[in-house]
Amino acid sequence: MDISLQRPFHEDQTFREILNEKKSLVVFVRHPG
Amino acid sequence: MRERYQEVSATGYQVIIIAPSNRSFLEQFDEAFGPYPFPIYGDPDRALYREMGHVSMAKTKLLLTAGKALLKGGSKTFLPSDEKQQNLVKKAMKTHDIYIQGGSWLFNEQGEVIWSHVDTAPENHATIDQLLEQMK
């Protein structure tokens, strides 16, 4: 949950911060595109 | 997902995409393919993938599947026609761990997993209709 993730043009955020206590659909892709 | 984002968003769930990419690649990707109505986050070390139980799939099985698709549909099966986009996808194929399992996870407001599907093969991903059914 505290793993840091990179967002283009933004600061890093932890996964917990990204979920932000909201109902979330998280999709892991093998590669973009 | 982009084509049916309105339907998904109407369920009240926020949509988050995780890719095994670094920020620099995702910035190039955003410029070539964007904009997207949902955020895409990079996990270049695949730390979150592994924490959630995603593993790298057998290369021979994936290459066999890719070979069959290539024979059936040609390179357009994998590559977009736009040159900039095509170069970026080729770069991803060379630089990313494309053998890592994809998957879909639903979390409630407490951050608890309420449903998940980890792909056992590239063609085994959850469809948007399956996701919408779970998000009711």
Higher per-residue pLDDT: A9 or B91: A9
Q: At a CB cut-off of 8 Å and minimum separation 6, what does B123 contact?
A: B65
The confidence score (pLDDT) of residue B57 equals: 79
Name every residue whose Cβ is closer than 8 Å to that of residue B9 and which is 6 or more positions away in sequence.
B15, B37
What pLDDT score was predicted for residue A29? 93
Mean pLDDT lowest among A4-8, A16-20, B80-84, B110-114: B80-84
Among A23-32, B5-14, B50-59, B76-85, the range scoring the smallest mean pLDDT is B76-85
Look at A19 and B110 and tell me if their CB atoms are within 8 Å. no
Q: What does the alpha-carbon distance between residue B50 and residue B125 come to, in Å, rounded to a whole number?
A: 18
Q: Any CB–CB contact under 8 A between A22 and chain B? A: yes
Give all strands of the β-sheet with A24-28 in edge-to-edge order: B40-42, B14-19, A24-28, B103-107, B113-118
Kindly give, in sequence order, each residue whose CB lies less than 8 Å from that of residue A1, ignoring residues fewer than 6 positions away.
A14, A15, A16, A19, B111
DSSP state of B56: B
Question: Which comes out higher in pLDDT, residue B54 or B121?
Answer: B54
Task: Note the pLDDT of residue B10.
Answer: 95
**Residue B75 pLDDT class (50, 70, 90 cuts):** low
Confidence at residue B66, expressed as pLDDT on a 0 to 100 scale? 65
Note whether B48 and A15 are within 8 A (CB).
Answer: yes
Residues 49 through 88 of chain B touching chain A, CB cutoff 8 Å: 49, 51-52, 54, 80, 85, 88
The owner of tokens 């948007």 is B128
**Counting beta carbons within 10 angstroms of the beta carbon of residue B133, is it exposed (0 to 12), middle (13 to 18) or buried (19 or more)?**
exposed
State the burial class of residue B58 (Cβ atoms within 10 Å of its Cβ: 0-12, 13-18, 19+): exposed
**Mean pLDDT, all residues of chain A:** 93
Tens digits of residue pLDDT in B43-65? 999 999 999 999 987 777 766 76
Closest Cα to residue B95, out of B42, B53, B49? B42
pLDDT of A27 reads: 97
Q: What are the Cα distances from residue A1, in Å, to A33, B30, B57, B76, B111?
A: 26, 25, 24, 38, 9
Contact at CB, A33 and B30, closer than 8 angstroms: no
Model ipTM value: 0.95
